[in-house]
Amino acid sequence: MIAYRIRFRVIVSGFLLLFALTACGDKSNNIVDDKSSIMAEVEFALKMESLGKPKDESSIKFIREMSEFLENENDKRSFLQIADLLEGKNYAEVEKIFKELGGELGPSATPSEREISNEEDDQKFAELSLEAAEIYISATVDAEQDILTEISDMIRQNTVLVKKENQDKFNSLANFIENNERISAESAFNELQGKYKK
């Protein structure tokens, strides 16, 4: 569980960076030294594909955008290649490069083998969505629409991995964020946070 919490924080840091860049309008002086946020996105894309739910263009866009801020040129090239491979649905090659970069994957599972019914799985992906939503809730600057869409898409993608009885609530939260309905988003966020935050 600790490893997943670290992963949540790393992904959230990536979104915070995007907020900062949007606010200042200058990307030239901002460098991402840690590739962990991109690795987490690639890992999640592979996990979703193993469940028969491949990720959409927002994941590919995230990988491409964040790769541009990496100092290590070899890592940058590898992640841009991964984005191209994801676009071409070449998941075997994506997994190969992911492992070459130091990533580790657990055993794959089919949807029938992997029902989201246990508390640990539900908690992991719900917390990831809440971490993303919290960026919007606590932001002190208005985000551009593409950033709102990135966050809402991330929440929707995670929603398929939480318990069915809470999926509608997470989808509503994603819609409120995408439509920049802050009061409604905060209300939905607080309700879900009460269910999941420990």
Average pLDDT over the chain reads 76
Residue at 137 is within a domain: yes
- When pLDDT is cut at 50, 70 and 90, the band that residue 196 belongs to is confident
Domain match, 89 and 55 both: yes
Cβ neighbours for 121, distance < 8 A, ≥ 6 positions apart: 161
The predicted-structure confidence for 99-147, as pLDDT tens digits, reads as follows 999 988 765 544 444 444 457 668 878 888 898 898 888 887 777 888 8
User: Is the Cβ–Cβ distance between 95 and 44 less than 8 Å?
Assistant: no
Domain match, 7 and 96 both: yes
pTM of the model: 0.54
Residue at 107 is within a domain: no
- Output 105 or 9, whichever has higher pLDDT: 105
Distance (Å, whole) CA 62 – CA 66 = 6
127 burial class (0-12, 13-18, 19+ CB within 10 angstroms)? buried
Domain match, 80 and 162 both: no
Distance (Å, whole) CA 22 – CA 5 = 26
Sign of CA dihedral 136, 198, 119, 98: positive
Domain match, 151 and 62 both: no
Domain extent at residue 167: 119-196
Last residue of a domain, one of 41, 72, 100: 100
| Sequence-ordered alpha helix ranges (H) in the chain | 2-24, 36-50, 57-67, 73-87, 91-100, 119-138, 145-159, 164-178, 182-196
* Strand partners of residue 70: 32
Last residue of a domain, one of 100, 129, 157: 100
Domains of the chain: total: 2
Domain match, 152 and 185 both: yes
Domain match, 15 and 79 both: yes
